[in-house]
Amino acid sequence: MQSNPQLNANGELRHLLSIEGLPGEVLLGILDTAASFVGVTEREVKKVPILRGKSVFNLFFEPSTRTRTTFEIAAKRLSADVINLNIAASSQTKGESLLDTVANLSAMQADVFVVRHASSGAPFLIAQHVKPHEHVINAGDGRHAHPTQGLLDLYTIRHYKQDFSRLTVAVVGDVLHSRVARSLIHGLTTLGTPEVRVIGPKTLLPTGVESLGVRVFHDMREGLRGADVVVMLRLQSERMRGALLPSAQEFFKHYGLTAEKLALARPDAIVMHPGPMNRGVEIDSSVADGPNSVILPQVTFGIAVRMAVMSMVAGTS
């Protein structure tokens, strides 16, 4: 059996590259640890000393505000030193290779690399080449994975619904381009969610998506019926090449979440969105700001989840 590059010999988390392939007990361990960090984020002094003296390098080869900021806040609350590198506008454009960039930063005594890259697999490549005391956290690679977002989604679902074993979760919209959807679906099935549905037009669902263990719906009303959790995805217009959709208005008509469509889900259903939201494209403002929405708590939990992941990986050898 090939060993999992994310785990060390003791089965502890060494890098976080994707949710796929992580055992359920590791996922639950991260969620439990995050729950303890939620307590820290609610105190007056929102800082613990555990990563004092460690350096966290945020390597963003692709623009991001929310994810980069929450990683930065998380690292600072762990007392780490944070260095933000906006590489889109740096050496890479001068022709330096990815591994040379990382080798240079490693020479600056890095402990943790938080990596976002437009190419799927870039964080894996880096993880294969870092020194034993260095750790890699994937902050989104291409269309592949966004594990900390997936984990914060899992945390949010567990927070409001306690247990995965009786839930129906509907993931709606642009699944094709969504690394968030892929990470969440792997996490939900690993943790024993009995029904995971994906809802979207054929052109925005990856071929063979059923093999992930999900039910596919093209009719949103049908797919939302009885759902406990509705996860809306952002329509990733910047990733779309070619005419996958007639127009944003047309998309909203069929796959936008309105109060009328949400009424088909369970009355206590929660509505999630990884952000940034396109109001009036995939979600109506009345729902985004409505009583079922947990979109802002997701952001808060995201900090605790990233604190958990960083403190777990940086302590393994």
Partner 1 sequence: MTPLPDAESLCAGLVAELRPIVGPNTAMIGLYTGGVWLAERLHAELAIAEPLGTMDIAFYRDDYNKQGLARDPKRTRIPFTVEGRDLLLVDDVLYTGRTVRAAMNELFDYGRPASISLVVLADRNGRELPICAQHCGVKVDVPADMRLRLRRGDDGKLRLELERAE
CA angle in degrees (0–180, nearest 5) for 57-62-67: 60
119 binds partner 1 (CB under 8 A): no
Distance CA 111, CA 315 (A): 10
Would you count residue 12 as binding partner 1 (CB under 8 A)?
yes
Q: How far is the C-alpha of 218 from the C-alpha of 211, rounded, in Å?
A: 17
Q: Applying CB under 8 A, which of residues 40, 103, 125, 212 lies at the interface with partner 1? A: 40
In angstroms, give the least distance from the CB of 82 to partner 1. Answer: 18
- Residues from 255 through 294 that contact partner 1 (CB under 8 A): none
Q: Which of these segments, 28-36, 68-76, 147-155, 178-186, binds partner 1 (CB under 8 A)?
A: 28-36
Q: Is 238 in the site for partner 1 (CB under 8 A)?
A: no
Please identify which residue in 4, 5, 21, 29 interacts with partner 1, judged by CB under 8 A: 29
How many residues touch partner 1 under the rule CB under 8 A: the total is 22
Crossing angle of helices 66-77 and 24-41, in 10° steps, is 70
Q: Which residue's entry shows tokens 């927070």? A: 159
109 lies in the binding site for partner 1 (CB under 8 A): no
Pick 50 or 212: Cβ nearer partner 1: 50
Distance CA 250, CA 278 (A): 14
Which of the residues 164 through 193 are near partner 1 (CB under 8 A)?
none
What six digits make up the tokens of 153? 């989604």
Say how far apart CA 51 and CA 315 lie, in whole Å.
Answer: 9
Q: How far is the CB of 111 from partner 1 (least distance, A)?
A: 10
Q: Which of residues 41-100 bind partner 1 (CB under 8 A)?
A: 43-45, 47-50
**Residues 66, 71: Cα–Cα separation, whole Å:** 9
Closer to partner 1 by CB, 35 or 83: give it. 35
Residue closer to partner 1, measured from CB, 67 or 311:
311
**Residue 307: CB minimum distance to partner 1, A:** 9
CA atoms within 13 A on the CB side of 206: 15
Decide: helix, strand or coil at residue 84: strand
Q: Which of residues 39 and 95 has its CB atom nearest to partner 1 in the complex?
A: 39
Gap between the Cα atoms of 148 and 71, Å rounded: 10
Query: Based on the number of CB atoms within 10 Å of its own CB, is 202 exposed (0-12), middle (13-18) or buried (19 or more)?
Result: exposed
Which one among 4, 33, 69, 258 touches partner 1, defined by CB under 8 A? Answer: 33
Q: Which is nearer to partner 1, 46 or 218 (CB)?
A: 46
The number of angstroms, rounded, from the C-alpha of 240 to the middle of its chain's C-alpha atoms is 20
Binding residues (CB under 8 A) for partner 1: these are 12, 29, 32-33, 35-40, 43-45, 47-50, 311-312, 315-317
